[in-house]
Structure 1
Amino acid sequence: MSLFPELDGPPSDRLFFGIFPEAPVAEAIAGRARDLKGRLGLSGAPLTPDRFHVTLHHIGDYAGLPRGIVAQALEAGEAAGAAAPFEVSFDKAASFNNRGNNPFVLQGGEGLSSLHAFQKTLGLSMAHAGLGKQVAKQFNPHVTLLYDRALAPEAAVEPVSWTVSEFVLIHSLLGQTRHIVLGRWPLKG
């Protein structure tokens, strides 16, 4: 018998911290996705611009929304919100091999050093809030553009850059392509 019977069963809810580009940048990303799809002969449909994001920490998948974990995540978000805004720049695209449902993503190099630093800061805030087990051990920042059966090799792209001025706690309804913002923190540093 589980301590949390309301959370038994197949996962239906995902919690994660993420950053989302502003609408004009998301539209530019959509343009890159269309161009790369054609240039590389991919067949998957690009995600809609409102879906483009970078996951900072995947907190977990649950059968139901675990209120205690949400409260801890909100506490962690509040603590990490004191950071300063920072720039990100994605300058290459490639596929991740996921056995047939392969994400084709934007990635970057040096243009993501501040993002790496912020992700670590958020991880420390999560650990202080009691979510240490949910802190990502590795971080490969990316923006998923589309999913495809084919694997595309790494390709340089015109950089997509923006200033990250906030981060969010997202409740994702699995299989429904719906994101509900549970917490939003402007970076004020």
Structure 2
Amino acid sequence: MLRPTIEAASEALEIAQARRYAHSLTGPSRPRELLHVTLNGIGAYRRLPQDIVFGAEQVAATVRARPFDLVLDEVMSFSHPGEPQAFVISSRRENEALQDLRRQIQEGLYEAGLPYNLGGHLTPHMTLLYDRKTVLPEKLNRPVQWNIREFLLIHSIYGKSEHNVVGRWPLLG
């Protein structure tokens, strides 16, 4: 996953607050420390399997990418049938550096025999809140952007809004 800087996270939460009012959304904003952009999930487990963690750490250590800028310039809802919709800040701009980072991770997971989401195009997004209302795509006057200097492996405790950092790897090129 990619974690925003404190400044970028604060800007994103300001946007969430403004759009909550503009669209009559009632869901609470996600806590700043949980804001992130997912690159690839490796499964949902009751207990975190150490063999999968070890394998994912080995894959992460092989990734070679340079720091790059990520720009999120629109808000919208992502539908999940029967569940509240994710209200996200996202981008449909092509970001080759982001796609390459994701591809390296996915191919490494595949080659290691680990869970992966090979293929498909990534729409980078950060969930700001959940709500029952749908918000159609809307461009932002001022995008949220930051320089990506590392990626992280986290263990997300499902239903508890808790992320434990398992490992982090710098983007060095």
Counterpart in 1 of 2:40? 57
Question: Secondary structure at 2:7's aligned position in 1?
Answer: helix
Counterpart in 1 of 2:10? 27
Counterpart in 2 of 1:89? 71
Matches of 1:114 and 1:107, distance apart in 2: 16
One of 144, 154, 160 as aligned partner of 2:127: 144
Matches of 1:58 and 1:128, distance apart in 2: 16
With the length of structure 2 as denominator, give the TM-score of the two structures: 0.92
- Find the structure with the greater CA-based Rg: 1
- Given that 1:90 and 1:112 are in contact with CA atoms closer than 8 Å, whether structure 2 keeps it comes out as no
Give yes or no for the alignment of 1:187 onto 2:165: no
Counterpart in 2 of 1:156? 139
With the length of structure 1 as denominator, give the TM-score of the two structures: 0.85
Which amino acid in structure 1 is aligned with residue 166 of structure 2?
A: L
Counterpart in 2 of 1:103? 86
The runs of 4+ residues in structure 1 deviating greater than 4 Å are none
Counterpart in 1 of 2:53? 70
One of 147, 151, 170 as aligned partner of 1:167: 151
- Given that 2:67 and 2:172 are in contact with CA atoms closer than 8 Å, whether structure 1 keeps it comes out as yes
- Given that 1:88 and 1:111 are in contact with CA atoms closer than 8 Å, whether structure 2 keeps it comes out as no
Matches of 2:118 and 2:20, distance apart in 1: 30
Shift of 1:112: 3.3
Question: Secondary structure at 1:61's aligned position in 2?
Answer: coil
Cα distance per residue 1:18-44 (max 9 Å; x no partner): 000111111111111111111122111
Shift of 1:128: 2.9
Question: Secondary structure at 1:58's aligned position in 2?
Answer: coil
Tell me how many residue pairs correspond in the alignment.
170
Relative to total residues, which structure has the larger strand share, 1 or 2? 1
- Given that 1:83 and 1:188 are in contact with CA atoms closer than 8 Å, whether structure 2 keeps it comes out as yes
- Given that 1:76 and 1:128 are in contact with CA atoms closer than 8 Å, whether structure 2 keeps it comes out as no
Shift of 1:114: 2.3
Q: 1:97 to 1:135 in 2, by over 3 A?
A: closer
What 5-or-longer segments of structure 1 have no aligned partner?
A: 1-17
Which amino acid in structure 2 is aligned with residue 126 of structure 1?
A: L
Give yes or no for the alignment of 1:120 onto 2:103: yes
Give yes or no for the alignment of 1:42 onto 2:25: yes
Counterpart in 2 of 1:177? 161
- Given that 2:8 and 2:146 are in contact with CA atoms closer than 8 Å, whether structure 1 keeps it comes out as yes
User: How many percent of aligned residue pairs carry the same amino acid?
Assistant: 32
Q: 1:103 to 1:94 in 2, by over 3 A?
A: same
CA RMSD in angstroms, aligned pairs only: 1.4
Shift of 1:130: 2.5
Matches of 2:109 and 2:125, distance apart in 1: 21
Which amino acid in structure 2 is aligned with residue 95 of structure 1?
A: S
